[in-house]
Amino acid sequence: MNLELPETAIDFGASAEGAFTDAGGVDLARRAEGQPGIRTEVVTPVLEQLGALDLQVADDLDTALAAGELCRVAGRCALPYPVMAVLASGARNQPPAALVDPVLPRADHGDLFPRWRLAAIDGAVWDGRPEGRPLGTELGPFVVDMAVTAVDPEPVDVPMLLTLSAWQTLGALERALELAVEHVTTRHQFGGPLSRFQAVQFQIADATVAVQSLRELAHFTLWRLWTAPLDRLVDALALRTYALESAHGVLRICHQLHGAIGFCDEHDLSILSRHVQPLLRLSAGLEATTEQLMATIDHTGFDSLFDTGATARAAQQR
């Protein structure tokens, strides 16, 4: 057993977070709403300099963990860029890959690339292109309607996309919780900080449990993608389900504890909360993901102490 992230992944995540912070942090997302060009003019060069766009997630576990850390720190500042889609593309000159709802294919930051590879949860893949400009809505400032142009015979690594989306969600939740802790310890009401009230403390505790659980499950799942190749989809769907549940719980708590200031765009919580929504909604929300997970468990099992996953079953049969 070795539960520690490799130093290379930790260092890469720390460098990326430093670079994103130096470039403006959450303010990048805030400014990009009015100046969408920031995404290519500011964010792309930062990612290039980090070598982030050259990470080959399919190479080995350590590289994938570095990619996970990159997605996590991108989530921490609502980085206005489809990092996950580029990482999952498979190679630098390949179009980015996104999971979509085939009924209404949409991609976050879909306008940044002329060609995309759009995948459904069942593994079907299409070539796609952006259709028009970002929607510019509160909850989808950079969501773009996509046009499907042709069936693409090359597979997309759907489990990797699901897993990286959970790591990015983790980053957003981590930061939202940090903001909530900061708020309740500095905001004084009734003659003292909000944090002295047990009703507040318990919510902080629940959010802390949720974030730590999601982190452990995210680490475990990425390891499983490498070690249990026949269970990749079921493991990734389980993580995605957990990430969505955690997001609903943690963001609700963080908004509640912030009061009205948390709804204001001058506060980072509002930006984080709005910009993470495409991540939580676009391909499938919590209930739809649970249904997909349920069907996949029916098909492959769900490896655990008392259930045998497909990889373990295949090993037993050999």
Partner 1 sequence: MDYDLGAQAEGLRLRLRQLVEERLPEGFLGAFTDDPEDLAITQRFCKLLAAEGLLAKAWPTEYGGGGSSVWEQTVVREEMWAHHEPRGPQYMGINWVGPAIMRFGTPEQQAQHLPAIAAGDVIWCQGFSEPDAGSDLASLATRAAPDPAGGWRITGQKVWTSYALMAQWCIVAARTAVKAVKHEGITMFLVPMESPGITVRPIPNLLGPHHLNELFLDDVSVGPDDVLGQVDEGWSVIREALKFERIGIARYARCDRLLTLVRQALGERWGDVPEALRARWTRARVHTRAAMVLAYRVVDAQAKGIVNDADASVARVAATLCDQEVAEVLLEALAAQAVDDGHTRHHVLHGAVEDHWRYAQAATVASGTIEIQRMLVARAALAGETR
Binding interface with partner 1 (CB under 8 A): 1-6, 61, 65, 177, 181, 184-185, 195, 198, 201-202, 204-206, 208-209, 212-217, 219-220, 223-224, 227, 238, 241-242, 245, 287, 290-291, 293-294, 297, 302, 304-307
Listing DSSP states for 53-111 in one string gives: GG--TTT-HHHHHHHHHHHHHHHHTT-SS-HHHHHTTSSTTSPPEEE--TTS-EEETGG
By C-beta, is 68 or 134 nearer to partner 1? 68
By C-beta, is 8 or 149 nearer to partner 1? 8
Pairwise CA distance, residues 208 & 252, whole Å = 13
Asked if residue 152 lies in contact with residue 123, where contact means CB atoms within 8 angstroms, the answer is no
CB of 220 to partner 1, least distance (A): 5
Phi and psi torsions of 138, nearest 5°: -55, -45
Number of residues that make up the chain: 318
**From its phi and psi, is residue 117 left (phi > 0), alpha (psi between -120 and 50) or beta?**
beta
CB of 36 to partner 1, least distance (A): 36
By C-beta, is 125 or 217 nearer to partner 1? 217
Which residue bears the tokens 């309607």? Answer: 145
Neighbours of 254 (CB within 10 A): 25
By C-beta, is 3 or 150 nearer to partner 1? 3
By C-beta, is 53 or 61 nearer to partner 1? 61
Helix 286-300 vs helix 232-258: angle between axes, to the nearest 10 degrees? 160
By C-beta, is 64 or 97 nearer to partner 1? 64
Residue 144, both tokens: 């773009």
Pairwise CA distance, residues 18 & 16, whole Å = 5
Residue 256, both tokens: 């509640």
CB of 115 to partner 1, least distance (A): 34
By C-beta, is 49 or 189 nearer to partner 1? 189
By C-beta, is 35 or 256 nearer to partner 1? 256
By C-beta, is 94 or 208 nearer to partner 1? 208
CB of 1 to partner 1, least distance (A): 6
Helix 198-227 vs helix 61-76: angle between axes, to the nearest 10 degrees? 150
CB of 44 to partner 1, least distance (A): 30
CB of 26 to partner 1, least distance (A): 20
Pairwise CA distance, residues 159 & 167, whole Å = 12
CB of 317 to partner 1, least distance (A): 17
Q: Which helix (H) or strand (E) holds 228?
A: none
CB of 201 to partner 1, least distance (A): 4
Q: Nearest Cα to 184, choosing from 170, 205, 213, 212?
A: 205
Pairwise CA distance, residues 76 & 17, whole Å = 8
CB of 101 to partner 1, least distance (A): 19
Asked if residue 163 lies in contact with residue 218, where contact means CB atoms within 8 angstroms, the answer is yes
Pairwise CA distance, residues 228 & 13, whole Å = 25
